[in-house]
Chains A and B, each alone.
Chain A
């Protein structure tokens, strides 16, 4: 349980974004092996499955299993889509990979494409990521020139082409079905599943969507062997991942730790503890949609299952640290505004609910709220979660539920000065909100 250097190894090598340096440090050995030895898809799935590599975009779905969902008898093109639409507040790890180790991502994508027999890879990069896009453009060109991408890669009969697609500013497009809609030239509206993208995805063809970091671990899994990778982590949570830590912390940044590392170790040992040596108040463990933890809850190990056990999520690994001076009401208002702005508008509970929650929170934060507002907030949040096509609805409601529950006294203090509503009986959530 500790710091490891698998992906971050390349961050420390100067110019590892360039092909000759990347190759000199063992780069493209895994993809070359898979392609030239003609590994059958089953061998690739089973290797990645044995490594217990989980999807590191947020959901934590086992990567190898996802690939095996593509129907073997499907005819016509299949696609691999790389989700580089990193937009979850508090998350910035993929930016580092694309800037400093773009070839690692390309190599992982080549291997994943081989596992589903895809000849086209689309990388969907968020529009604001200009430098990461340039870094990828250059890497793609280098890999094409070297014969690692394009026709007859590594001298084989395989053809793999990588297409870069720039997003244009919409958080929702990080959700995989919204991303596919966006990639097809539509608004980024999520779709109901089933059909799952593995069966009917991009341009209605079988499609696998993986996060940048997930794919970047694939060459490492093949190089070092699945057993090595699996053993680094804990049961069902193989290997390591990049944790991004920000907020009130002395050394914000990206830290690569084996899964199962204690959260306390990341905050206090690696990231140097709370800024100004203040007391810790709260932690958002994996992007702003994850339920907040109080300072008393941080004795938890950083793996998907341990965080789920205490009612939160490891999410994207983007951790936000808040010290004792933090106004939790203000933070929740900020989060509510974010989801209201980013709701795509397709499902009523999310479109209307995120607006309601924001308006209630504006009232509470300005000292004009009532204790009824807190109950209403809780009600509205409860009515969004689980009632929408995509997880943005849950993402918007989970912070509200957890902030109000865990920091109720702070919210009560904001409303205690305000008048309690005169009306008798409980309002329904829709009234006067």
Chain B
């Protein structure tokens, strides 16, 4: 098997497992750890996670595909999650999408040629008081306007 965690992550897997009376329950956090380590959850990574938790690889695959936050495919350096649920839509999410499309030349699900941004449109991010909002990686940005979004995109390195 060609993918493997460094020792520190291996220890972390043991710590995660300790939180639960059943090993299987650790799968969520172990997948996050794997995603951080390997960039995305490839079939190879699924096999590796399966071996760590004594599960069939098909089981791991089912979990990876059920939840939206596990990345089955590589994404750009920054993953942008643009909310387009009701409150954000009422407050201009469509204009934000149009701005991103125009400025970066990518639509939902696409990655820029320089591999800097991947854009996803997503369901409610739980920040409706800041509509329209988006996340870039693990950071939330709200009360966007076309101008603010323009500056924000410029400021991301």
A residues touching B (Cβ–Cβ < 8 Å)?
A: 77, 86-92, 94-95, 126-131, 163, 165-171, 182-188, 203, 244-248, 252-254, 284, 288, 318, 320, 322, 326, 330-331, 334-335, 338, 341-342, 344
Contacts and interface: CB of A to CB of B under 8 A. Distances in A.
B87 A246 contact: yes
Interface stretch (B3-11, B27-35, B98-106, B146-154): B27-35
21 contacts: A90-B128, A126-B126, A128-B125, A129-B126, A130-B140, A168-B28, A168-B31, A168-B69, A169-B68, A170-B67, A170-B68, A184-B25, A185-B63, A187-B62, A203-B20, A247-B86, A247-B131, A252-B128, A334-B86, A342-B123, A344-B66
Count chain B CB atoms within 10 A of each CB in A90, A128, A326 and give the residue with the most: A128
Nearest to B30: A185
For chain B, the bracket of interface size reads 35 or more
Q: Is the interface of B mostly helix, strand, loop or mixed?
A: mixed
Contacts of B20: 163, 185, 203
B114 interface: no
Interface in B11-28: 19-22, 24-28
Contacts of A187: 62-63, 66
Given A187-B63, A244-B129, A331-B89, A89 B69 contact: no
A89 B87 CA distance: 8
Nearest to A127: B69
B138 to A, nearest CB: 4
Contact of B123 (A89, A127, A248): A89
A318 B128 contact: yes
A331 B93 CA distance: 13
Contacts of B28: 165-168, 182, 185
Contacts of B91: 246-248
B124 interface: yes
Nearest to A335: B86
A130 to B, nearest CB: 4
A187 B24 CA distance: 11
A345 to B, nearest CB: 9
B67 A168 contact: yes
B128 A169 contact: no
Given A95-B127, A187-B63, A331 B86 contact: yes
Instruction: Please name the 3 residue pairs, one residue from A and one from B, whose CB atoms are nearest each other, closest first.
Output: A169-B68, A246-B128, A168-B67
A94 to B, nearest CB: 8
Contacts of A91: 124, 126, 128
Contacts of B90: 247-248, 320, 322, 326, 331
Given A91-B126, A185-B22, 18 more contacts: A88-B124, A89-B86, A89-B124, A90-B86, A126-B126, A163-B20, A168-B28, A168-B32, A170-B66, A186-B63, A187-B66, A203-B25, A246-B129, A252-B87, A320-B86, A320-B128, A326-B90, A334-B86
A90 B87 contact: yes
A126 B123 CA distance: 13
Nearest to B31: A168
Contacts of B131: 246-247, 252
A185 B27 contact: yes
Contact of A166 (B32, B62, B84, B85): B32
Contacts of B141: none
B70 A168 contact: yes
Given A168-B32, A170-B67, A187-B63, A92 B129 contact: yes
Nearest to B22: A203
Nearest to A322: B90
A92 B128 contact: yes
B96 interface: no
B135 interface: yes
Nearest to B19: A163
B85 A338 contact: yes
Contacts of A254: 129
B86 A86 contact: no
A136 B126 CA distance: 17
B123 A341 contact: yes
Contacts of A184: 22, 24-25
Nearest to A133: B138
A13 B24 CA distance: 41
